[in-house]
Structure 1
Amino acid sequence: MLGLNLREEFRGKRLKGTAIELSNETRTGATQIAAKDFLEITYPTHDLLKGIEAVGPDQGRPVVVIGERGLGKSHLMATLYHAVTDSASTRAWLKSWATTLGEPKVGEIPLRSGMQVIGESLHRQRYKFLWDLLFEQHPHGPYIRGKWEGMGAAKTDIPSDQLILELLRHTPTALLLDEFQTWYDGLTNTKQYPWKNWAFNFIQILSEIAKEHPDLLVLVVSVRNGDTDAYQQIHRVNPVQIDFKAGGSPERIQQDRRRMLLHRLFENRLQLSDGNIEVLISRHVAEYFRLLDVPSSEQERKRRDFKETWPFAPHLLQLLEDQVLVATDAQETRDLIRILANLFKNRGDHAPILTAADFRLDDDASGIGALLDSVANQHHRTLREKALRNITSVTEAVPTHSSVVPHLQEIIGALWLRSIAVGNLAGAEPAMLHAEVTRDKAVDDNAFQVELATIVENSFNIHQDGARLVFREEENPQAKVMAFARNDKLFADGSDLAQLAKEVRYVIGGSEDVAGKFRVIALPRQWSSDPWSTLDESERPERWDDLLPIVVLPEELDKPNERLGRWLKDHLQKRRNTVRFLLPRSGSINVFMDRDLIILARAEMKAQEWSGQGPEYGKLHKKYQGELRDNLKKRFDRFAVLARWNFADPAQCEFHIESLREQGAKIPEAIEAALTNDLFVPEDFEALALEAADGNSALGKVLRELQEPRPTGQDCIPWLGETAMKERILRLCARGKLAINLRGMEYLQAQAGEDEDTAWRRLRPKLSYTGRQLDEIFLLEPGAVPSTGGSTPPTAVPKDSDGGLFGGGVMGPTHPVTSEQSPLGGYTETGEVTPASIFGNATSNGPASGGADKPRVKLQNPPTSPLNLIGKLEGWGVGPATPVTEVAIKISSATGAQIKELLKKLPDGMTFELSLEKDAEQ
């Protein structure tokens, strides 16, 4: 291919390793060969030139090379070694590149010479202590070692800075410590063997000497990152950092990296003419621009990229660098060189430009072997085996495959390589696959579409992921399941729609927390005309219990107020104010008409049905179920509750329609939070509760009324559930707003001087009644009840009483009576006497309301609060229509203001007699 030649080390059948060692026992290490030979394979990247400048004669800072494995740290360290030991060869190399790159400043970089250079790869663990390395390899080292060890009792744990300075004054030194972090992190650090502490202190001495005496010591260390403690010591002296980021310019990084790759791989890449390369790749580039719709403003820059990265396509290098190798344990540049060398050796003579389509799955030598060795990922190897089976499947299914799918190997190979990329980048769009199989001849668009469709239809591992095709491990079971799922005749009984409704219910209300509080009803496709007939009986309104109903609508509504109002009137006869409507997001079609959702529901059903045939079907069931549920979770983003009701004209109904941020099983609680915090108006509820207390209404009746819309166009009060509503009423009781008569046996009311929280804690356990029991509990206006929260203690009934506010007559009984205590805390007469009343002198003779004479029962009660007296009336059966006579209320003492206030509250249409006693004026 245009006479391009791989370097000698890459030409053999077995590729030599590309890892750089500073030295080894065979004396083939990077620092043990001639500088000229080593620099021959070295490209002057920005980072490398920065390092050479940093160890120059006018510099005075340590140098730290930072980067993960495989980026080229060791290569850079070896270059610095040769730059100091053989400045002449390095100078010639720099001038040559200055001419080649057209950058004269490269040839003018000053070089240091005349120093003892010590370079060591510390990960080989040949030295326990850094000073051992200095003492062994420095010409004055044995003397300084002896001097230090001969200090006797004055000997320190580590050599002092004075000893090291004496060593360096004898012979200035450049010390290059490769893999310093690996060595340092492996040191022990116990009380008996504090070697890491010693290394920590010694590297501080070296870094300070390198900063203060740059003429005596040049210190260069390489680390993987800046987290090591030893690096932090060097960091204190502000070292020069080389981090393989090319000055922070992404474009410069990419250019440096790719030029370095090509120079490392090929002997004569720079000698080839750009014009010849452009002619060779012109067809591929033109089709790439057309198929991927590259803007004309970008084409010239892209064309330069194609020429600069040749013989490899830039989209191939980007795929390997940014997607494939990043997702693996590959050693960056080192592994990339091996992969590309193998690819060129095997396919370089077959294609004008190398793309992902040149990775032949059936040939390890094409780069696949090197790639898999670098990736070290069993998933990718398994995926390769699946892809090979897909090739076989296509060839067996298509007898004329050589003509129908001529690019079978290339398409499968390219798709496999792109399918092992990371995250959302996995897979390839058809246009990219089309471009990658295009070489010196264009491939007809229609022919390629037919070829690709044939491959996809007959492959069990190619999946559609949005616009992309991607290889996955699922094989025959998936093809079988999907074939059944797409057959409408197999689901004529509607089982697929029932399964879809079931998944809707589960997604919204499947968790235990939701199921214990909410009832989720997924309405069918014909929800507006026939919502109940296809549902299970337990989901129909007549079977609803105290769970809060969430009705899921299958489609978006064009006129939500009108349609929901009509639906409530036609299909729900009670509890209309309790329903929460869950609405699909805007733009969605009816759930039960969405082909994709129906197919997923069918696939889930079939995979579950066949799960006994093998574990693959169980995995597919979970897969399709997960995909279906994920889709359904995102489908509903609004809810509606009744705001105003109009039975006569449902089109005039109004609903609150609120957005939801939560998804899936979090939706019910999110609805309740919105109702409670945003739509529920405490003042409206309090007014309703106080009105009920004023009318002595039963709690059961109040709760039932709250479950229905308010009449005459009033704003509806959102129904929060029986428990929540009872607690809010009890809160009002704890605030002293109202009182509660618990079935005539106990009265709940805030006590004088009692704060709300204390009253709440005391009263809360007492309102545990439900069902019909709530009809025996009454809301009352508050009063001064002596024994709030308990039964009124019994007191003796006086035999007679004089001077009541009404009637002023005798209140005692007119005939002998035997009394016994009532269960309600008052007294009842024996024989034919009914339970005692608070009204003392209802005589037992005389007509009632002008009627015939009837037996009368005198009822009376000892002094107590108005609240307790009202309770007695209800307990004795004295209702609003019950006629009573001779009513007298005795007040033992009062002020004029209290009597005046009492008279103001007496009902109109009645007459009253007033008598009282006051002190005589003196």
Structure 2
Amino acid sequence: MLGLNLRQEFKGRRLRGTAIELSNEANTGATQVSAQDFLEITYPTHDLLKGIEAVGPNQGRPVVVIGERGLGKSHLMATLFHAVHDPASTGAWLKNWSSTLGDPAIGGIQLRSGMLVIGESLHRQRYKFLWDLLFEQHPHGTYIKGKWEGMGAAKTDIPSDQLVLELLRHTPTMLLLDEFQTWYDGLTNTKQYPWKNWAFNFIQILSEIAKEHPDLLVLVVSVRNGDTDAYQQIHRVNPVQIDFKAGGSPERIQNDRRRMLLHRLFENRLQIASSSVDSVVAQHVSEYFRLVGTPAAEQDRKRREFTEAWPFAPHLLQLLEDQVLIATDAQETRDLIRILANLFKSRGENACILTSADFRLNDDASGIGALLDSVANQQHRTLREKALRNVTSVVEAVPDHVTKVPHLQEIMGALWLRSIAVGNLAGAEPAVLQVDVTQGKVVDDNAFQVELATIIENSFNIHQDGARLVFREEENPQAKVMASARNDKLFTDGSDLAQLAKEVRYVIGGSEEVAKTFRVIALPRSWMSEPWAGLDESEQLERWDERLPILVLPEEPDRLNEQLGRWLKDHLQKRRNTVRFLLPRAGTSNAFYDRDLLILARAEMKAQEWGAQSAEYRKLQTKYQNELRDLLKKRFDRFAVLHRWNFSEPSKCEFHVEALKEQGAKIPEAIEQALINDLFVPEDFQDLVLEAAAENASVGKLLRELQEPRPSGQDCIPWLGEPAMKERIVRLCARGKVAINLRGLEYLQAQAGEDEETAWKRLRPKLAFTGRQLDEVFLLPPSAVPSTGGAAPPVPTPGPPGTGGLFGGGVSPTPPVPGTGGESPANPTAPAAQPGGGIFGGGTGSGPRTTLSNPATSPLNLIGKLEGWGIGPATPVKEVTLKVSAATGAQLRELLKKLPDGMTFELSLDKEDS
């Protein structure tokens, strides 16, 4: 929009207040910043120039600034402060505006100098008596205070005019008393404590000194109105009154005020040429004249109004100033500035001129709706609810509504805003609504009439009031929810913090797939001192299982290595190497102190609480929930894991901090991929496993060691979870690096001549043990276990048929080692099977053979053993013997039924006599 720049203070997601404080604890008050910085946002209105002249040299009257809240009293008083405190900067500012506005009189205003300036906002109640302010801040105050208090019996209730004059003769002073009426009306006035009477008398002394000795005292006081006793004593000395009427004609008042508004909002509004503005708004102005019927004689004046008010339409400003804000408890200029700033942020880039139609009811991201809710009365809330429901009603009732009612949002927004005006001015004629929706492109009259008629027909609360259309009545659920969300007293139990933590957990780890592998814990706002306070029982340390813990920090640690190291030492006594810390973006505040996040969490809670009453509240719950989750998804962009541990000096711990590109529920998997691809060093892991194998350590012991930081400042090996770590151990076994003793039942190792992938597929399902079972699974060097496969051994010497254990037909060339694939029969001393192969038997064949056997086990394990021996469907086998130690007749019958057809079998057994 012609390069128009909003001031930086209005660019944030949530606007800071525009209220002016003379001073504050943060030293950012209007009198605590430099004159150049403050005057940069100040426009020389008629009232302000009048005030500067009134406190100039050769002036002898006190100054009273009169006006209700929000008109700019404090801003004016701060300007007067700088005018006397820094006349050089103020003079340069006046000369600059004199040139800009083409008014030499502005640059010729005389400024007072050489005075001490004391400014105080009395509503802060930091002083019980006015003389305390003087005594504390005046360089001669301590002396005069001591002199007054040392008068003994002659001491008066208030300091005398002589004492005050002595004080001022030492150092002439300008005294600014902001919010004097608020302070004065709050004073006690009893026989025992007649403080209001004393203040009444003392302000009389000050006002008379200011009139009679203007070289010693300049007195400036602000009050809300002239009807209070706080003002009467000053009124007696005929003060200069500044009442924000600006003087002159109504047109001059209006122009003065609007220029002030635009200068306060924008950095460069006055630098944009009028000719450029005229060309941008020409289409809108032309349609305005045609539709409203502006007489030709008035068109030049109206065109100048459009140019002066741009980027806002003058009819919008008039609506807000004269009708909308007058119907609310809004603080005049202050709230108008906030509304216009929000409007420009939301729509300024897309519109050539801003009108009532730019108040989009569905544009909550800009905050306009929330801001208007904050200043609205019951009528506003009712009408906004009706407008929102009407939009929904039209959308649901009109197929292809995007084509048939393209200006639905603009018309509803404009009609809603115009319906909250006061009295008979509420609502708008169709021609006015057409003007509002007209931007850089003309809207066809007939098409607009059809569109408007469609909207009216499908809405349930638009009424015809003469020639006007107007919204009427009913409560606004959104306003109710947001008003409750902003009320801190409703959430003293911390339920809003719990709700926010719940949403954090859901956003990061809410999906079922994530929850199977990861345990996501949102640490509370006091995470450094009480990390487990307030967490669900399932999230407490003693309830942790084998899932990978992701600890979500509410804020970015300012000294990450030191704070996380200290945290691990103090709050996690075991498995310190397993946690991942999820970090918020740099520069973000603690999530549990973030007003935006808390209000959304509260709004979601309240909408859910009232959801049984109305579907509107359930929609609002979804709306606020989605907004909150969208913010939380974008909040986290890094994670940290332990790199080096130092128990004795946790501040010397080191952490890996890695960036994340994924958001929301994709974060846990992204963390694991980053650990595997970027931080996990396979060589370090292999060295540790080989070391464990050399010591014949158990797999359980190795895994427990991996879950703890490595000592002596060694680099930690990232913990990837028990399944992943066991897979990597088996992978090393498949490479022939180690062997594994499976609880004495079986030994795993790569066979001679077997490639890694084949061995991996064979060995991978073997290490299925978990928990304490792994303490009985031992790692061994590969040389400690004989090979169970590979090249065929020498041809065995034929032996008696039936030997060879479960499956056998010959004698092994060497005695097999127990536990290997070449084990001897489970009972080597038992009688040999009968010739012919026992229950499964056949004749002996010719050619080289390898005798294989396995001790008694389940059928499923025997099928797996066949795969391990390399016996496939087409592999011929001879002398097959299946030994069954004991069976019932039923079991034997069932076994015989399942024998394959086309084969013969010999059966022998020992029957037990009854």
Using structure 1 for the length normalisation, give the TM-score.
0.51
Q: 1:186 maps to what in 2?
A: 186
Report the counterpart of residue 43 of structure 1 in structure 2: 43
- The 5 A counterparts of 1:397-796 are 397-473=397-473
Other-structure match for 2:391:
391
Confirm whether residue 304 of structure 1 aligns to residue 304 of structure 2.
yes
The Cα shift of 1:15 comes to 1.2
Quote the offset at 1:382 in angstroms. Answer: 2.7
* Offset, 1:371: 3.8
Shift of 1:168: 0.4
Deviation at 1:115, TM superposition (A): 0.4
Contact 1:329-1:374 at 8 Å conserved across structures:
no
- After superposition, the C-alpha distances for 1:426-477 in whole angstroms (9 at most, x for unaligned) are 11111100000011111111111111111111100101111110001269xx
The answer on whether the counterparts of 1:189 and 1:196 sit within 8 Å (CA) in structure 2 is yes
Are the aligned partners of 1:358 and 1:366 in contact in 2 as well (CA < 8 Å)? no
Deviations 1:700-743 (A, max 9, x none): xxxxxxxxxxxxxxxxxxxxxxxxxxxxxxxxxxxxxxxxxxxx
Deviates more, 1:308-317 or 1:390-399: 390-399
**2:84 alignment partner, SS class:** helix
Q: Give the SS at the match of 2:238.
A: coil
Residue 177 of structure 1 aligns with which residue? 177
Partner residue, 1:54? 54
The aligned residue for residue 350 of structure 1 is 350
Is 2:62–2:207's contact at 8 Å kept on the other side of the alignment?
Answer: yes
The separation in 2 between residues aligned to 1:371 and 1:25, in whole angstroms, is 27
Q: How far apart are residue 364 of structure 1 and its match?
A: 2.6
What is the match of residue 256 of structure 2? 256
Q: Give CA-to-partner distance per residue, 1:639-669, whole Å, 9 cap, x none.
A: xxxxxxxxxxxxxxxxxxxxxxxxxxxxxxx
The match for 1:595 is none
Q: Deviations over 1:80-100 (max 9, x none)?
A: 000000000000000000000
Q: 1:456 to 1:371 in 2, by over 3 A?
A: same
Q: Distance in 2 between matches of 1:328 and 1:63?
A: 30
Name the SS of the counterpart of 2:464 in structure 1: strand
In structure 2, the partner of 1:204 is 204
Q: Secondary structure at the match of 2:247?
A: helix
Q: Does the aligned pair in 2 maintain the 1:47–1:242 contact within 8 Å?
A: yes
Q: Which amino acid aligns with 1:55?
A: V
Which letter maps to 1:150? Answer: G
Shift in Å, 1:366: 4.2
**Counterpart-to-counterpart distance in 1, 2:364 and 2:126:** 38
- Alignment partner of 1:326 is 2:326: yes
- The residue number in structure 2 matching 1:9 is 9
Q: Classify the secondary structure of the residue corresponding to 1:247.
A: coil
Q: Determine the structure 2 residue equivalent to 1:117.
A: 117
Match status 1:238 vs 2:232: no
- The residue number in structure 2 matching 1:729 is none
Structure 1 residue aligned with 2:290: 290
Q: Distance in 1 between matches of 2:474 and 2:145?
A: 67
After superposition, the C-alpha distances for 1:41-63 in whole angstroms (9 at most, x for unaligned) are: 00000000000000001100000
Alignment-mate amino acid for residue 368 of structure 2 = I
1:89 match:
89
> Per-residue displacement from partner, 1:609-641 (whole Å, max 9, x unpaired)?
xxxxx9xxxxxxxxxxxxxxxxxxxxxxxxxxx
The one-letter code of the counterpart of 2:99 is: T
Match of 1:478 in 2: none
Give the Å deviation of 1:401: 1.4
- Mapped partners of 2:377, 2:384: distance in 1: 11
1:448 corresponds to which letter in structure 2? F
Please give the per-residue CA displacement for 1:153-190, whole angstroms capped at 9, x wherever unaligned: 11000000000000000000000000000000000100
SS at match of 1:196: helix
Compare CA radii of gyration and give the structure with the larger one: 1
SS of the counterpart of 1:119? strand
How far the C-alpha of 1:226 sits from its partner, in A, is 0.1
Residues 816-842 of structure 1: CA deviation (Å, up to 9, x unaligned) = xxxxxxxxxxxxxxxxxxxxxxxxxxx
* Residue identity matched to 1:368: I
Provide the residue aligned with 1:151 in structure 2.
151
Query: Using the alignment, how far apart are the partners of 1:376 and 1:433 within structure 2?
Result: 22
Mapped to 2, the partners of 1:135 and 1:370 lie a distance apart of 45
CA displacement, residues 342-380 of structure 1 (integer Å, 9 cap, x when unaligned): 110110111100000000101234463354244242331
Contact 2:383/2:474, CA 8 A, preserved across alignment: no
Distance 1:189 1:248, change over 3 A: farther
* CA–CA distance in structure 1, aligned partners of residues 75 and 369 of structure 2: 25
Q: What amino acid does structure 2 have at the position aligned with 1:447? A: A
**Counterpart in the other structure of 1:73:** 73
| Displacement after TM superposition at 1:230 (Å) | 2.2
Change (3 A) 1:51 1:249: same
For 2:18, what is the secondary structure of its paired residue? coil
Aligned partners of 2:408 and 2:455 also within 8 Å: yes
Instruction: Give the letter for the 2:56 counterpart.
Output: G
1:240 partner letter: V
1:101 aligns with 2:89: no
| Matched position secondary structure for 1:13 | coil
User: What TM-score do you get using the length of structure 2 for normalisation?
Assistant: 0.52
Does the 8 Å contact 1:359/1:366 carry over to 2?
Answer: no
Cα deviation for residue 404 of structure 1 reads: 1.5
1:22 paired with 2:22, answer yes
Deviation digits for residues 570-629 of structure 1 (CA, Å, limit 9, x no counterpart): xxxxxxxxxxxxxxxxxxxxxxxxxxxxxxxxxxxxxxxxxxxx9xxxxxxxxxxxxxxx
Rounded Cα–Cα distance in structure 1 between residues aligned with 2:474 and 2:29: 47
Q: Which amino acid aligns with 1:191?
A: K
- Structure 2 CA distance, aligned partners of 1:441 and 1:464? 28
Matched letter for residue 227 of structure 1: D
- Kindly tell me: are residues 168 and 431 of structure 1, through their superposed partners in 2, closer, same or farther at Cα, counting changes over 3 Å? same
Structure 1: runs of 5+ lacking an equivalent: 476-613, 615-922
Change (3 A) 1:289 1:371: farther
Partner of 1:267: 267
Give, as a single letter, the amino acid of the residue that structure 1 aligns with 2:330: A
Q: Is the 8 A contact 2:361 2:369 kept in 1?
A: no
Change (3 A) 1:474 1:39: closer
Give the conservation status (yes or no) of the 8 Å contact 2:14–2:367: no
Deviations 1:283-335 (A, max 9, x none): 11000000000001111000000011100000000011110011100000101
In structure 2, the CA distance between the partners of 1:192 and 1:213, relative to structure 1 (3 Å rule), is same
Answer yes or no: is the 8 Å Cα contact 2:31–2:78 preserved in 1: yes
Structure 1 stretch 10-19 or stretch 101-110: which is displaced more? 10-19
Pairs within 5 Å for 1:742-891: none
Aligned residue for 1:361, secondary structure, equals coil
Gaps of 5+ in 2: 476-612, 614-914
Note the alpha carbon deviations across 1:864-886, whole angstroms, 9 max, x for none. xxxxxxxxxxxxxxxxxxxxxxx
Q: Tell me the residue number matched to 1:214.
A: 214
Asked if the contact 2:181–2:223 (Cα under 8 Å) also holds between the matched residues in 1, the reply is yes
C-alpha distance in structure 2 between counterparts of 1:364 and 1:150, whole Å = 64
Identity percentage of aligned residues: 84
* Farther off after superposition, 375-384 or 181-190: 375-384
Query: What is aligned with 1:519?
Result: none
Question: In the aligned structure 1, how far is the partner of 2:462 from the partner of 2:365?
Answer: 25
Q: Paired residues, what number?
A: 476
Query: Alpha-carbon deviations, 1:735-775, whole Å to 9, x = none?
Result: xxxxxxxxxxxxxxxxxxxxxxxxxxxxxxxxxxxxxxxxx
State the partner residue of 1:482. Answer: none
- Give the direction of change, closer, same or farther, for the CA distance of 1:298–1:371 in structure 2 (3 Å limit): farther
Q: Secondary structure, in 3 states, of the residue corresponding to 1:159?
A: coil
CA apart distance, 1:386? 1.4
